[in-house]
Structure 1
Amino acid sequence: MYNKCIKRFIDFMLSGIGIIVLAIPMLIISVLIFIDDPGPIFFTQKRVGLHKKNFKLYKFRSMKMSTPHDMPTHLLSNPEQYITKVGGFLRKYSLDELPQIFNIFSGKMSIIGPRPALWNQDDLIAERDKYGANDVKPGLTGWAQINGRDAIEIEDKAKLDGLYTKKLNKGGLAAFAFDMKCFFGTITSVLKHDGVVEGGTGEMKKNKDKVSE
């Protein structure tokens, strides 16, 4: 009941309210993006959705027009060189993700769920298959995002997504409570900037290795 009806109702209502309340702030952000680096305000990418069906994900553009498209940030050589001044601020506070409320409103995403992989992130998609994490709707934020985000290895990220999937599939009050834990945990993580490492997938493990050397 929670997974099929209540969760979607909450997503629809909150994203609808968000679109109205955030209309002016998003307009201001749009103007600043264009002034900083003229070009499209929004950035779209093909992402993997429910049951591995692709969809277009929306973000505020935080990188320069010269940035290679459809490439994960951690695969870019010196990713900082591509990030605009406004984009750096947006990414630091996760404001570049705001346009995804339209993805949530349309039903392609949920507020809470595994972050949607890029269509060409075969390693992450394959790892998530092991845990059934590709068979739940992707989210704006999730369990992996409050437990390391960019700093954790793909294998560990998939395991965390799998744990979320297991909790969600239990349904009922337990699933709702876990979603709330992810939601409020995200607020704390954003304020602390936890796990935000440009080009830094696996940085948590690398740092542990350095300590052990």
Structure 2
Amino acid sequence: MFKQKNFFEVIKYDFYDKGVMQSYTSFLSRSVVNVSFEEIGNEIIRKSTGKKAWLIASGILFCLSILLCICSFTDKTITMADSIFYLVPSIVCFIVFILLKQELVYLVGRQNLFFFYKKNQISQIHEFINEIIKRRNNYYKEKYAIIENDLTLEQQLNKFRWLKNDEIITAEEYDYLIDQLQSLANKAYMFYNQK
């Protein structure tokens, strides 16, 4: 199990036999999603989220406040209170931006898994992502790295190439499966030619 907290948000991950269960709880909502290993990719990206409009509004209001402060020295109709009037919402907008800003790490696939990016948890996040990928690869090996009688030779070759290209099986495992497949194909060929 892997758990992270970020202000009023909590993410928990648990493994089940065919995938990962992601539980997300925030101040206002809760969701549980089961993500099968079939939907999990192996690309990892880091992304910042947050509404930049809050930062832009804060910047505009702050500049307006500074401009009014400067103008108050030359124009006596403008007071420092006018400057402070725009400074306060500027600070509020900036605080909202800081509270909404998040750094996330995504394990990208058909169904993305996300983690809060925290500098003190980087190694734990990567260890857990590596464990997810390892378990996904083991799941794929058990399910697909076998010779199936109901598939054609070409379909099986494509399946084994896919497993090798996605680094689910090693080159040695690939060679072993191809040798097994060729051996079966030769036996079948010999069997049908004897008749």
TM band (smaller chain): under 0.3
- Which protein, 1 or 2, shows the higher relative CO under an 8 Å CA cutoff with sep ≥ 6? 1
TM-score for both structures, normalised by structure 1:
0.24
Bigger CA radius of gyration: 2
TM-score for both structures, normalised by structure 2:
0.25
